Amino acid sequence: MGSALAAGDGLDFSLTQKLTVIALCALTAFISHMALAVFNDGVRPFMLDFIQGRTTRNATTAVSFGLSAGFIFGLGAPMALTSGVLNPWLLFLPTDILGILAPKKWLAPLLGAGWGAVVVFGLGGANELAHELPVDFLTAMQQMSTPILFLFTVFPVLAVTKQFGRLRGGIVGVVELALVVLTMRLWPNMFAGALAMAVGVLMLIGFAVDKDLKQRRADKAAGVPHELPEGADDPMASLFSASAARLRRYLPLFMVLGAGICVLAQMKIFGGGEATSFLIAKGQYAEAAQVDFYRVFGFVPLIATTALASGAYGIAGFTLAYPIGYLMPNPFVALLAGAAVFAVEVLALSYIGKVLGRLPSVRDSSEHLRSAIGEALGLAILFGSLMAANQMGGGLGILVCGGLYLLNEATGRPIVRMAAAPTAVIVGGVILNLLYWLDLFTPVKS
């Protein structure tokens, strides 16, 4: 699976890297303040009311904080400390909140820059402190990498099964398993799930496009119209066109944003997803680019439609800047590529919305892909967290961390499920250290 994780060294940033993170956090906070883009997909639908003055800045901030806090502290920070690689939950969810919170335009970038400074200057110290503890829960949390990487591979199988039934899902599952085994045998230095995921996603898209084309042919034969009658008004057209026009007015700012995100990804200190963070930490940049590229198919329809409906884009756009950045040879090329990608995305928003309207099965596939990614990662993170708990404290570690996770479930999930297990490992690690200092626990030897 490549080299060991770089958690011990990955948070030691160069001055250029620190300044890039700080500047990008300042920019994303400013864009959030302007209600031009937010990272949290759950917050974006609320932005239209904010843009049109039907809700206050404080109320929108409360929504953003409520939907983001669990991911920041329960997923973003633990993943960064564990892998040694920064991630969007740690960087961009806080700048969503800070940007919306800031009452003045000039204050938003200052708050964002402040958060970036906290991350690049404070995270390394927290990392070193955690590794000095008798129960090193950060090293234990590296157990999460294998379940995340391999269980993430099955998300196309889940998506196909949900949308097209067990038979096609089983076929894709067999194909993926064969490709994983083949890759492990023939290309041992390559991430075993990369080829399998590529084929799985392509099969899903192929099934969806085939279904849409067959349905259009059948409707055409039956005389069912697919277009509005001439002169009829589409009730969503005016809203969508106004939102697209608003975003196009700020095209230069979006190009700067795209350039910054692509440069950050090129620096190899940032991963766009859970699996990607561990691949970047292992130095497997081509595989990381593949993984994040496949995720794009699950998020383009969501981001495009919510952006057109709300007038607020995604901070990372369609997330294409991530995989492109990983593959760029230097920051200067990445800067140009990121700016170009965001320019194309913003200018193509209206066209993408129209195309998605004509391909309902493809649009549904994205919903199933996102759901499948969440389910696969949810199980992987839970399983990996229990492995970490076992490494920290054996049966007692599993009891404490698993019990905290179940308590969160029983109390209505005050911490979102995806973040609950890593949070339980950190809290469990603190509890085990306290028990050690009280001479009630002996750490498990590695």
pLDDT in tens, 423-441: 999 999 999 999 999 999 9
State pLDDT tens for residues 121-132. Answer: 998 888 888 888
For 352-376, the pLDDT digits (tens) are 888 877 788 888 888 898 889 889 9
Tokens representing residue 340 in the block: 């170009």
pTM for this prediction: 0.86
pLDDT digits (tens, 9 = 90+) for 17-69: 999 999 999 999 999 999 999 999 888 888 888 888 888 999 999 999 988 98
Mean per-residue pLDDT for 257-280? Answer: 94
pLDDT for 2 beyond 70: no
pLDDT attached to residue 10 = 59
- Is residue 230 predicted with pLDDT exceeding 60? no
pLDDT one-digit tens code per residue, 106-125: 999 999 999 999 999 998 88
Q: What is the rounded distance in angstroms from the CA atom of residue 276 to the CA atom of residue 258? A: 19
Q: For residues 442 and 337, which has the higher predicted lDDT (pLDDT)?
A: 337
Tell me how crowded residue 436 is: count the other CB atoms within 10 A of its CB.
Answer: 16
- 9, pLDDT greater than 90: no
Q: What is the pLDDT of residue 168?
A: 95
For residue 445, the model assigns a pLDDT of 67
Cα 378 to chain centroid, rounded: 13
| CA pseudo-torsion sign 327, 330, 331, 337 | negative
- The answer to whether the beta carbons of residues 432 and 441 sit under 8 Å apart is yes
